[in-house]
Structure 1
Amino acid sequence: MSESTLPDYIAVATELQQAGLAVSPAELHGLLVGMLSGGLGLKDDSWQPLLFDYTNDGLGWPQSLLTRSRELLDLSIKELTAEQSFELALFIPGEGMEADLFEQADGLSEWVNHFISGLGLINAQLAKASADTKEALADLEEIARLGIDEDDDMEEQAQLLEQVIEHVKACVLTIHAEFGVKPSKESETPTIH
């Protein structure tokens, strides 16, 4: 798991619900990470109107939720642009809350669907993507449709879900590597003009 800490899932879900927004924390985080992976600038606030249009018919969000969204975005930027780390936290039901396997799987599906939507909102040039990126996107599209069969062995399903979560992270990192904005390296020696 990442060293970064995500906020409490239930608290964010409650904030979103109290604001009358029909978006889950998993959907919000997936959307933000999708926009980042598709090329959203690291210091760019153009995500806000896109978020408003996509989730609230173009109407703004309460400032407290914008701050919370910015915190999620900043955390994801830190994870996606870390030089040595290949960790990415997915904000889905699970750790830290009593979520059953079905809730976790639904949260993962919501996250992946909205990640794909985020790529679309930012107009990532997916048609020009490399073969690896196209394969990662195809895998995500397939994962978005997966579900848990209640007749199957739940322990085995839990293990499979963990594997799928790790695969989602790998797919996201692949897509971000191609389309995501990298932090600019400041030159270590000053340039003299």
Structure 2
Amino acid sequence: MSQLPTIQEVAAASRELGLAATPAELHGALCGWLAGGGADARDWTARVMADASLAAPAAGSALDRLREGTAAQLEDGDFAFQLLLVDDESATRDRAQALFDWCRGFLGAFGLAAGAKPPLSEEGSEALQDLGKLAGAQVQDIDEDEEDEASLSELEEFVRVATLLLHGDCVLGPRHRRSFN
């Protein structure tokens, strides 16, 4: 299974390309693009940021490894897909903000790739609406306690599973339908 680069590697590579997105938002955008049926292409940054002037990440760079690892995780039948957020040791508030940033990135790129009427199941439609609510959320006062930590972990798992569900609806389902025809 492909390992994703570290959040620090993605941040540094993102700065080198002049991208304004946080690493979490950038990974969310990549995941949204791929889950919506966008091409797994080296110039993914230009595609997900809707800016044709952006240079493609160099082969083997952190952003290229991010694309390769993410695409492999989404295709993995063992559901190994993981979100690239912030370090687990980060404050709950920072982790929540990273999750909301990730969701914002996901929604924008998913819309670019999937279009106005993606082939979503009822569950996929609900998941997309819930991701939209998370993308619009603001971090409120958070106590660094076990209850908030548990709630955040549940949200992270929901986002992970929702991403896999949407990828299944928009990529795997149509691919399997074509193979039967």
Fold agreement, TM-score > 0.5: yes
Answer yes or no: is 1:30 the counterpart of 2:28. Answer: yes
Amino acid at match of 2:55: W
Say whether the 8 Å CA contact 1:38–1:176 is kept in structure 2: yes
Q: Residues 35, 115 of structure 1: CA spacing in aligned structure 2 closer, same or farther, 3 A cutoff?
A: same
Normalization by structure 1: what TM-score?
0.77
Normalization by structure 2: what TM-score?
0.81
Residue 120 of structure 2: aligned partner: 129
Say whether the 8 Å CA contact 2:7–2:85 is kept in structure 1: yes
Answer yes or no: is 1:93 the counterpart of 2:86. Answer: yes
Q: CA RMSD in A?
A: 2.8
State the SS of the aligned residue for 2:97. Answer: helix
Larger Rg: 1
Q: Residues 48, 16 of structure 1: CA spacing in aligned structure 2 closer, same or farther, 3 A cutoff?
A: closer
Residue 81 of structure 1: aligned partner: 75
Q: Residues 119, 66 of structure 1: CA spacing in aligned structure 2 closer, same or farther, 3 A cutoff?
A: farther
Q: Residues 151, 114 of structure 1: CA spacing in aligned structure 2 closer, same or farther, 3 A cutoff?
A: closer
Q: Residues 153, 16 of structure 1: CA spacing in aligned structure 2 closer, same or farther, 3 A cutoff?
A: closer
Q: Residues 126, 170 of structure 1: CA spacing in aligned structure 2 closer, same or farther, 3 A cutoff?
A: farther
Amino acid at match of 2:100: S
Q: Equivalent of 2:166, from 169, 175, 191?
A: 175
Amino acid at match of 2:86: P
> How far apart are 1:49 and its partner, in Å?
3.4
Residue 70 of structure 1: aligned partner: 64
Q: Distance in 1 between matches of 2:123 and 2:57?
A: 39
Residue 58 of structure 1: aligned partner: 52
Q: Residues 94, 76 of structure 1: CA spacing in aligned structure 2 closer, same or farther, 3 A cutoff?
A: same
State the SS of the aligned residue for 1:14. Answer: helix
Q: Note the 1:100-119 alignment, pairs <5 A.
A: 100-119=91-110
Residue 49 of structure 1: aligned partner: 46
> How far apart are 1:152 and its partner, in Å?
4.2
Q: Note the 1:152-171 alignment, pairs <5 A.
A: 152=143, 154-171=145-162
Unaligned runs of 5+ in 1: 186-193
